[in-house]
Amino acid sequence: MKTIFLNKLISLLLFLAIIPLSRLSAQNCGAANTIYGMSASDQRTLVRIDTATGLATTIGDVFGGGAAATHPVLQTSAMAVDPTTGIIWFSTRVPANIYSYTPGAANPYGTTTSSFGLSATVNKAAYNPADGNIYFHLGNTINALYRFNPATPTVAPVLIGNLALTGVTTTAASFSGGDIAFDGLGIGTPGDTQLYINLVNSSGVVVATVPVNANGTYSVLNIPEGSFTTQLSSTQGEAGQAAPAQLLPAGWVATGESFTGVNDSVVGGGLAVTAGTSILNYNPALLTIAPGATSAGTGTTTFKYATIDAAGKKDFTPAAYTVTWSIPLPTQLLTFTGSAAKDRGFILDWTSGKEEQLSHFAVERSKDGMVFETIATVTPTGSNSTYHYTDNQVKGRMQYYRLRIVDVDHKEAYSKVLSLSNECGQTLSIYPNPVQDKVRIEGLTAVQTLVQIFNAEGRLMVEQTVKATNTELNIADLADGVYHFLITSEGRSQTMKVIKRK
């Protein structure tokens, strides 16, 4: 291992000795860990070095076309790579201009140019990942630092300031400068703009205002009682006065919850994910799941996801992701049952125990057991009450029902899910659904009934004969997934879908 490494190192050093390079850019461009350099012999030939192999490849003449080809002095003075785009930005000798070159592009030559407007030579250039800008140092007697924005290549670089030497006595008339290094830019001051937090009350009046610290934090002290909104702005408000219009630096946008702007809909940051959303650069550590009004089942929810490969091909067999949590009910629900009505509707019955801070019951219905809609709201009548609801707007033989229980603080919880079928005059009820281990079947005939359970592929997994109106099956040994219960009695059969998950 040591010998191989030394051989590669020696080969790289020999190459550098044979082909003189100047102004090497240590920026990686893409996944190849590449270093770009400019030939010192003509100061216009771009060379790429692969640090993994030590191999060097001549890319081409950066002045071979585009705006740079018309420059009076076809020699480079400094260069830097933007790793986000792969574009190489280089400066020229007197006069000092900035041009672009994109390795691998059909037409790599930039068609726009930006000028320093000076008869000076740029010594160094470096890309700053903190703000996406490129910084150039002009040496000699100018000795100044400039900021260039690649997003606006025709706009002249901005003078940041002169680089003064303190504590050093010198008689030198010029300063050639060294490398450019960055320690990061503070969030509180993007560029030269200070940000402020204005605390605004419900009447639109500023209650307090504080500057944002360089690390992005802020602290507002001695806040009076009440409801307020925080306004991030480059304009500082005045306490007791109407809130100023929100202004942000160019390229900035406010995000957050419950306000006018880019509403990410998620407390603490992030973006709400809906069905069909594609998540680029997915990081499982950033996934947050919280119960909501569309969660299926008691304290559990399931969603499906599919991966997409580099070729854009989507997995045609999405996987199921199930999350279970514990939610205290705002009331004690003793029973929840369902049966068929004579007009092929369904009757729901439930009884409550102790009711505390209960606002209402919302009756929800679903065709597939996953997506529910509210079909009725029932007002509570007090502890130890009995409730009835008849659903006469049924479309289809199979329906799923659940109760959404809402307290006065708008907190919600869910009952178990009932699976009800009304076919051939026989009403069956299977619950809980989804089920973890034991599933109960009610509404069977008193005569012999055959219960068969098939998996999603149609394979028979369980078969049992029942001679009672109610029975309980233990399916804990079955794998998680969707199963079809085929119930046959007196020559009539019914099929009901049950979801099994832990």
pLDDT tens profile 267-299? 445 566 777 777 776 777 667 765 544 333 345
Mean pLDDT value across residues 311-315: 75
Question: What is the per-residue burial (b if ≥16 Cβ within 10 Å, else e) of 438-466?
Answer: ebebbbbeeeebebbbbbeeeeeebeeeb
Burial class (CB in 10 A: 0-12, 13-18, 19+), 204: exposed
Instruction: Note whether 55 and 34 are within 8 A (CB).
Output: no
pLDDT > 90 fraction of the chain, expressed in percent and rounded? 6
For residue 181, pLDDT beyond 50? yes
Residue 29's pLDDT is 43
Residue 130's pLDDT is 72
Strand partners, 95: none
pLDDT band at 328, cuts 50/70/90? Answer: low
pLDDT tens profile 404-452? 888 888 888 888 888 777 654 456 788 888 888 899 888 776 667 888 8
Mean pLDDT value across residues 189-216: 81
Characterize the bridge pairing of strands 255-256 and 262-263.
parallel
Residue 2's pLDDT is 42
pLDDT band at 305, cuts 50/70/90? Answer: confident
Structural domains in the chain, CATH included, are: 2-162 (2.120.10.80), 186-272 (no CATH), 275-423 (2.60.40.10), 427-502 (2.60.40.3080)
pLDDT tens profile 7-55? 444 444 434 334 444 444 434 444 345 788 888 778 889 888 877 777 8
pLDDT band at 378, cuts 50/70/90? Answer: very high
Which segments within 116-164 are labelled E, that is strand?
Answer: 122-128, 133-138, 144-148, 158-162
Q: Is 20 helix (H, G, I), strand (E, B) or coil?
A: coil
pLDDT tens profile 94-134? 888 999 998 888 888 887 788 888 777 788 888 887 778 89
| Overall residue count recorded for the chain in this entry | 502
Residue 251's pLDDT is 64
Radius of gyration of the chain (CA): 35
pLDDT tens profile 459-502? 888 988 888 888 889 998 898 888 888 888 766 667 788 888 87
pLDDT band at 219, cuts 50/70/90? Answer: confident
Residue 379's pLDDT is 92
